[in-house]
Chain A
Amino acid sequence: MIYHYTTIDTLAMILSTGKLKFNRLGKVDDLEEMGESLNVKLGKYAFVSCWTEEKEESIPLWKMYSGDNHGVRIGMEPDMFVKNIIKDLTLPAGSKMQGQLTSMLEPKDFLSPNYFIFPFRPDLTELFYCHIEYVDDVKAKTEGAFKLKMTDPEHASSSISFGEIGKYKNKRWAFQQETRFRIYAQPFNSVYGDANIGTIALNSFLENKPLPFSEYFILLRKDAIQNMEITLHPNSTQSDRVIVDSLCARFAPKCFNL
């Protein structure tokens, strides 16, 4: 079980939509996490949902994320996301995809001309579900993530280690014992590209091309929602209890409401 401290408003959105929000890394509370390398703001392409594996309730996390003594702590199994079978995509040129793959994303996400999200599988790999490493200098860990060089007089090669982005926080945050889900979105899609996809990629990142969204939602499995454990803030009121009970009764009658 992993735990997410949040407001009753957010609980209502999760239960009513069945989706979990991923926030752009540049919008989380630690500005050091923005992750800039070669002037490319890599944090604008990273989206995270923050949790902890610590079962013991955390007073600081209650204070920071539950919204003025009226929040909840949500407990869920890490394997909580839908597993869509993606097949028979009709590609821009009119041809069909061969084979199939399992993805937590929807088919439309593979065909957008403006972005491509990865990892798309819901497997709990270190890239998707990571334990935050608390370090002295976050910048030193991420500033070399973008590598760019001329391979010969007419070609360049590049690489960006996105796995390093959203993985480190300063030691002052260590009390959070944070784990997080991470996804990344590149601001182009090679399905619509051409033989110059490398040049498109290079220019997109060097120009910090924006994405068409600033937050992203991924659908949760229905059984994962039904097995959710909800803990009310220690100082919650009777009306908080009524609201949470009503939400559970309507959207997740089997969830464990403490």
Chain B
Amino acid sequence: MAEDKDCELKAIENPEWLKVDVDAEQHILYGIKHSGSVDWITGKLSHEEVEQLKTKIENIKK
């Protein structure tokens, strides 16, 4: 199953992805693989969001 924001939802067979969201240029934003791995990239984060995320990552590492 694939998804993009122009056609919204297409059901297709894919050997790697169970579900995948792509942008207008077919870049993968978010996906679920048949292995159960869920992968994603964030959109452009604001300076504040980046700082919050860095803090979270640092706190998690402690």
Contact of A100 among B7, B8, B11 (CB under 8 A): B11
Dominant SS at the A interface?
mixed
The answer to whether B7 touches A98 (Cβ under 8 A) is yes
| Interface size of A in residues (CB-CB distance below 8 Å) | 51
The answer to whether B30 touches A163 (Cβ under 8 A) is no
* A124 touches B (CB below 8 Å): no
Beyond A161-B37, A198-B41, whether A190 also contacts B11 by CB under 8 A is no
The answer to whether A191 touches B3 (Cβ under 8 A) is yes
Beyond A97-B8, A98-B10, A206-B56, whether A199 also contacts B45 by CB under 8 A is yes
Nearest Cβ in chain B — how far from A83, in angstroms? 14
The answer to whether B9 touches A191 (Cβ under 8 A) is yes
Of residues 1 through 30 on chain B, the ones whose CB sits less than 8 Å from some CB of chain A are 1, 3, 5, 7-12, 18-19, 21, 23, 29-30
The answer to whether A89 touches B9 (Cβ under 8 A) is yes
State which of A7-15, A146-154, A231-239 sits at the interface with chain B: A146-154
The answer to whether A190 touches B7 (Cβ under 8 A) is no
In the docked arrangement, what's the CA distance between A86 and B1, Å? Answer: 11
In the docked arrangement, what's the CA distance between A38 and B62, Å? Answer: 10
Residue ID in chain B nearest A188 by CB atoms: B30
Beyond A97-B9, A195-B43, whether A201 also contacts B38 by CB under 8 A is yes
Chain A residues near B8 (CB-CB < 8 A):
91, 93, 95-97, 191
Chain A residues in contact with chain B, CB under 8 A? 38-39, 86-87, 89, 91, 93, 95-101, 116, 118-121, 125, 127, 148, 150-151, 153-165, 184, 186, 190-191, 193-199, 201-202, 206
In the assembled complex, 27 residue pairs joining A and B whose CB atoms fall closer than 8 Å, in A order, are: A38-B60, A86-B11, A91-B9, A95-B9, A97-B8, A98-B11, A99-B10, A118-B32, A119-B34, A121-B18, A127-B35, A153-B50, A154-B50, A155-B42, A156-B42, A159-B40, A163-B36, A190-B19, A190-B21, A191-B8, A194-B5, A195-B43, A196-B42, A198-B40, A198-B41, A199-B45, A201-B38
